[in-house]
Amino acid sequence: MAEELDKQQSSNYTAHNIQVLEGLEAVRKRPAMYIGDISEKGLHHLVYEVVDNSIDEALAGYCTHIEVFINEDNSITVQDNGRGIPVDMHEKEKKSALEVVMTVLHAGGKFDKGSYKVSGGLHGVGVSCVNALSTHMKTEVFRGGKIYQQEYSCGKPLYPVKEVGTTELRGTRQTFTPDGSIFTETVYKYDILAARLRELAFLNKGLRISLTDRREKDEDGSYKHDTFYSEEGLKEFVRYINTNREPLIPDVIYLNTEKQGIPIEVAIMYNTSYNENIHSYVNNINTIEGGTHLAGFRRAITRTLKKYADDNKYLEKAKVEISSEDFREGLTAVISIKVAEPQFEGQTKTKLGNNEVMGAVDQAVGEALSYYLEEHPKEAKMIVNKVILAATARIAARKARETVQKKNPLGSVSLPGKLADCSSRNAEECELFLVEGDSAGGSAKSGRNRKYQAILPLRGKILNVEKAMWHKAFESDEVNNIIQALGIRFGMNPENEREANLEKLRYHKVIIMTDADVDGSHIDTLIMTLFFRYMPEVIQQGHLYIAMPPLYCCKKGKAEKYCYNDAEKDEFVAQNGGTSGMDIQRYKGLGEMNAEDLWETTMNPETRRLKQVTIENATDADYIFSMLMGEDVGPRREFIEKNAKYANVDA
């Protein structure tokens, strides 16, 4: 009987739905406009979009637990214990509120009159976009003792919202299958989701977020699983980020307040390194390009520390001129604020533009920091001493640089002698290969296309910028050669942040080409760290790549194939009747290939494979680089073994 009723309802269902479908058709026609892109990034973004709705429910104070499942078929389930999406009739639309939320663009926040939507994914497009981009989606609402549900196909409801049972539970469960005809990638990566969910747990203290992978069971029959929960929020977050760094003082300087109606949470730690590491968030979005909240933070640090040092006569004793960046050496901080109407600007729309925020953050941080310094004179003195040391080192480095520049008049920095440049001056088509070793460098030089491919062989050791003082990089020949070849300069922007000017970049593809072994992977990582710490813009704008040389050359009779991984080799073996009489050559180094082979397999844009270096999650990347380049060798080896390009070759 209930079955019958459902069918009747479904059959005359389509008519009043037409207007809605047009909205979601637009999402299917231009998915990248709504979720950024249709690759791996966009695929994972769908999950964040759904989770964000549950986070909003948590921020409103009604939800304490969010569970995310990667199902066997790569569909995703997100369940929360909030109030449940309302299912009552929406007066104007003449259908259930649930259906409106699921099928109307930007309808997500319409029911929360009083509060603003604070979490909001990067694009803040709402769950209806996820629905539009899923071949199948199902929403179950546990509310008022009853279970309601509705299913959809490519955003179209398959039947009206129906009641399907009773329950003691409260909350919302949503399951969706991303459309493989829209996304170029449909396999979810546990680590990518885990990094974002961990971050969200730190940013929303007291909220429990769990992740379970139902695709694979381990030996004891359990699924891969993590629960992320933070009692202390950013205080714990900043300690986590600093895991692989040595603290200067053990304290975390912490504040959680509201200024001019803006909720502000900040955690600060000083460590013995020479890098500045500030992670900033607005409405749970990582603002990698910074903005007014970051400017306010920096201003407060400089002003407050300078005043403290002046008042205590530390600076007149030191007799050095302190510049604002000296106050931030060895500083790790996380800033998280909530803004009702954020204006996002910049290349990647991750730079906060709201002017009113600057003063609010400046004031909040200034108050908390001066209070800490007054209460902790011993620690304060250690911080000030570190600042003075930074200034002294910076001034010494500038003097050294000026001496070098005098030999090199007019500052017209010439190209490095080792660079075999290309003839084209059209940066868009130009590629720079950073090649490990002279012999591979030689093959690359003779094998390349001279018009648009340049070669820079790297001989000496690449400086580990994770451990070196900032100016040391400019004393390293290899680093200088790379920077000079790229053509970019470093300067300070108006907010006194280090910034590279990418308009001068001479090659739009910078390609790291090293051996497929442990040493090669280590060099890859050193070069990636250099870019990540000194020129993150190059990575953010998609200019950095890793060349993937083949691991094998397989021959049998007339059949011959370069194989880039074990799966390809196994396939060739299977297609050619097993290994007997087959010649399998394993390349250990680039030097084993002659110039033609190197061109054909690794450099020719028609046939080569390149891996683009991306920053999925800047905070996660920071953690990984500090771990990889830090003191402890164990985790580094483990990471390289898991992630290197030769991953399934026993080295």
Residues annotated as catalytic (active site), given as ranges: 436, 515, 517, 519
- The H-or-E segment that residue 543 falls in is none
| Residue 529: both structure tokens together | 């760290």
- We find the least distance from the C-beta atom of residue 80 to ligand 0RA, in angstroms, to be 5
The owner of tokens 């005809």 is 181
Check binding of 332 to ligand 0RA (CB under 6 A).
no
- We find the least distance from the C-beta atom of residue 130 to ligand 0RA, in angstroms, to be 11
Residue from the set 54, 119, 128, 304 that interacts with ligand 0RA by CB under 6 A:
54
What is the footprint of ligand 0RA within residues 444-483 (CB under 6 A)?
A: none
Residue from the set 20, 27, 46, 85 that interacts with ligand 0RA by CB under 6 A:
85
Binding range to ligand 0RA, per CB under 6 A, among 75-83, 241-249, 271-279, 328-336: 75-83
Check binding of 66 to ligand 0RA (CB under 6 A).
no
Give 231's DSSP letter: S
From its phi and psi, is residue 220 left (phi > 0), alpha (psi between -120 and 50) or beta? alpha
**Cβ-based nearer residue to ligand 0RA, 59 or 315:** 59
Binding range to ligand 0RA, per CB under 6 A, among 32-40, 78-86, 304-312, 575-583: 78-86
Neighbours of 409 (CB within 10 A): 7
- We find the least distance from the C-beta atom of residue 170 to ligand 0RA, in angstroms, to be 9
What's the CA gap between 585 and 599, in Å, rounded?
18
Pairing of strands 544-547, 610-612: antiparallel
- We find the least distance from the C-beta atom of residue 55 to ligand 0RA, in angstroms, to be 9
In sequence order, the β-bridge partners of residue 560 are: 555
What's the CA gap between 270 and 247, in Å, rounded?
6
Check binding of 213 to ligand 0RA (CB under 6 A).
no
Residue from the set 112, 246, 321, 638 that interacts with ligand 0RA by CB under 6 A:
112
The 164-203 site mask, x for binding ligand 0RA (CB under 6 A), equals --------x-------------------------------
- We find the least distance from the C-beta atom of residue 467 to ligand 0RA, in angstroms, to be 45
Size of the residue set binding ligand 0RA (CB under 6 A):
12
What are the backbone angles phi and psi of residue 365, rounded to the nearest 5°? -70, -40
Binding range to ligand 0RA, per CB under 6 A, among 77-85, 298-306, 308-316, 570-578: 77-85
- We find the least distance from the C-beta atom of residue 101 to ligand 0RA, in angstroms, to be 7
Residue from the set 23, 36, 86, 487 that interacts with ligand 0RA by CB under 6 A:
86
Give 312's DSSP letter: T
Q: What is the 3-state secondary structure (H, E, C) of 344-401?
A: EECCCCCEECCCHHHHHHHHHHHHHHHHHHHHCHHHHHHHHHHHHHHHHHHHHHHHHH
The owner of tokens 């591979």 is 440
- We find the least distance from the C-beta atom of residue 276 to ligand 0RA, in angstroms, to be 37
**Cβ-based nearer residue to ligand 0RA, 172 or 476:** 172
The 546-585 site mask, x for binding ligand 0RA (CB under 6 A), equals ----------------------------------------
- We find the least distance from the C-beta atom of residue 615 to ligand 0RA, in angstroms, to be 28
Q: What is the CA radius of gyration of the chain?
A: 28
Binding range to ligand 0RA, per CB under 6 A, among 84-92, 253-261, 511-519, 595-603: 84-92
Neighbours of 284 (CB within 10 A): 23
- We find the least distance from the C-beta atom of residue 405 to ligand 0RA, in angstroms, to be 59
The owner of tokens 């007291």 is 206
Task: Please give the distance of CA 62 from its chain centroid, rounded to a whole number.
Answer: 29
Check binding of 103 to ligand 0RA (CB under 6 A).
no
3-state helix, strand, coil in the chain (%, to 5): 40, 25, 35
Tell me which residue of 589, 552, 550 sits closest to 573, measured CA to CA: 552
**Cβ-based nearer residue to ligand 0RA, 57 or 597:** 57
Residue from the set 89, 111, 227, 581 that interacts with ligand 0RA by CB under 6 A:
111
Pairing of strands 431-436, 453-458: parallel
The 238-277 site mask, x for binding ligand 0RA (CB under 6 A), equals ----------------------------------------
Sign, CA dihedral 162-166-168-174, equals negative
**Cβ-based nearer residue to ligand 0RA, 90 or 394:** 90
What's the CA gap between 376 and 150, in Å, rounded?
58
HSE (side-chain half, CA atoms, 13 Å) at 327: 23
HSE (side-chain half, CA atoms, 13 Å) at 562: 16
Give 600's DSSP letter: I
**Cβ-based nearer residue to ligand 0RA, 57 or 236:** 57
Give 420's DSSP letter: B
- We find the least distance from the C-beta atom of residue 141 to ligand 0RA, in angstroms, to be 8
Binding range to ligand 0RA, per CB under 6 A, among 52-60, 485-493, 505-513, 587-595: 52-60
Tell me which residue of 187, 200, 203 sits closest to 226, measured CA to CA: 200
**Cβ-based nearer residue to ligand 0RA, 107 or 548:** 107
From its phi and psi, is residue 617 left (phi > 0), alpha (psi between -120 and 50) or beta? beta
Asked if 397 and 471 touch (Cβ cutoff 8 Å), the reply is yes
Binding range to ligand 0RA, per CB under 6 A, among 82-90, 154-162, 432-440, 495-503: 82-90
Give 38's DSSP letter: S
- We find the least distance from the C-beta atom of residue 50 to ligand 0RA, in angstroms, to be 7
- The H-or-E segment that residue 129 falls in is helix 127-132
Check binding of 80 to ligand 0RA (CB under 6 A).
yes
**Cβ-based nearer residue to ligand 0RA, 85 or 422:** 85
Check binding of 53 to ligand 0RA (CB under 6 A).
yes
Check binding of 83 to ligand 0RA (CB under 6 A).
yes
Tell me which residue of 142, 99, 98, 123 sits closest to 33, measured CA to CA: 123
Q: Which residues bind ligand 0RA (CB under 6 A)?
A: 53-54, 57, 80, 82-86, 111-112, 172
